[in-house]
Amino acid sequence: MTRHSTGRGLIRIVAVSTAVLALLPAAVAGAQAPKAKQKKDKDPAAKVEKDKLKAAAKFWDKNDDTPLAVTLTTNIKRIRGDKGETGPWRDATLSFVNDGKPVSMPIRIKTRGIWRKKNCEFPPVRLNIARASSQGTVFFGLDRPKLVSYCRDDDMYEQWILQEFQLYRIYSMLTPMSHRARLVKMTYADEGGKVQATRYAIILEEPEVMAQRLGFPQMKEKGAGPDFMEPHHGALVGVFEYFIGNTDFSIFALHNIELLAQPDGNVIPVPMDFDFSGVVNARYATPDPKINITRVRERLFRGYCVPAEEFTKVFEQFRQGKAPIYALYDDTIGKLMRKDYVESTLKYYDEFYKTINNSRDANSEIVKACITGR
């Protein structure tokens, strides 16, 4: 992998709330400010893309305490049979209430993922939402978002979906350099009308759209090592993955990580897909046999090495964010989770805070345990 510049200086990032910026170090928040006025874009294609982003923002900004109720109708047997790496697009319909009126919107879907596609009753899919058919609906502006669906029609599997959604919420509190996610109550119906299941699901912003929204090109080239990291986010991603007990990621291999290219040649890593993390603690999740843990619940730092002062800043960021993070498990979404699951989650987080609040433990378990290579 070689360094390169995107040119034209730093690009404007979408506004974020004061509460979110309060969790960011001043240097990081300030680095995102535009340095010069941008020329008005007269390219019609570029204007269409900007309009799509503006319209899609309404979908994500309406991510209130009430999950959107949606029915996905398709040939479920055929979708379950699409096990290959590049499954075909299949016809489907999304049905929902829009401004008080029932709407049935034709879409296309295709399977994605690796483990879940092979092992789940309903595989994770990508939605393909046409601009024309979504006009005037809450889905207008979305293109090909991911649907993180239930794996098995079982209450505990649904709890794992809710937990994963919480992790997207947490990371977006820590930095705007994150995926947007929305919780939905999805009913899965066969073409004949038979309902297979009704479970919570996550609609997740696609990487290309995230990159466009944040104003940085998406880097799809593998091989980024520690020297390529924007230091703060290099530390933040590693500590966040340690916080949730996740080792199922690789910046070098672009596994459950997206990269945003910076004008100076550095990259910002953005994490995703947290179902193999210790805090989710899914019964199907197992650690990679190559690493020195036997259960996903065991924490092991797998982040890159960055200057020690960046870890110090991130530790303080987590301390400041502790109360807002814990509060997510007592709001309307948090109350959808089982009480015992919430209690075990907060105890798991307590162990993390015990580590970073002890300088010796933080140094040995995180700072000195960082990865110097791939």
Is residue 123 scored above 80 in pLDDT?
A: yes
What are the pLDDT digits (tens) for 230-251? 999 999 999 999 999 999 999 9
What are the domain boundaries of the chain? 18-38+215-367, 44-204
Q: Count CA within 13 A, CB hemisphere, residue 292.
A: 4
What are the pLDDT digits (tens) for 62-105? 656 689 999 999 999 999 888 766 789 999 999 999 989 999 99
DSSP helix/strand/coil, 313: helix
The residue among 196, 211, 105, 86 whose CA lies nearest residue 150 is 196
Is residue 145 scored above 80 in pLDDT?
A: yes
What are the pLDDT digits (tens) for 272-315? 999 999 999 999 999 999 999 999 999 999 999 999 999 999 99
Cβ atoms of 346 and 326 within 8 Å: the answer is yes
What are the pLDDT digits (tens) for 34-52? 344 445 556 776 666 777 7
> Token pair of 255, please?
């596994």
Angle between helices 339-356 and 308-327 (to 10 degrees): 160
The residue among 275, 81, 55, 56 whose CA lies nearest residue 164 is 275
DSSP helix/strand/coil, 75: coil
Provide the pLDDT for residue 40: 53
Stated as kind and residue range, the H or E segment containing 148 is strand 146-148
DSSP helix/strand/coil, 33: coil
pTM of the model: 0.87
Cβ atoms of 295 and 262 within 8 Å: the answer is no
Give the whole-angstrom CA distance, residue 125 versus residue 313: 37
Classify residue 294 by burial, with Cβ atoms within 10 Å: 0-12, 13-18, 19+: exposed
> Token pair of 212, please?
């466009």
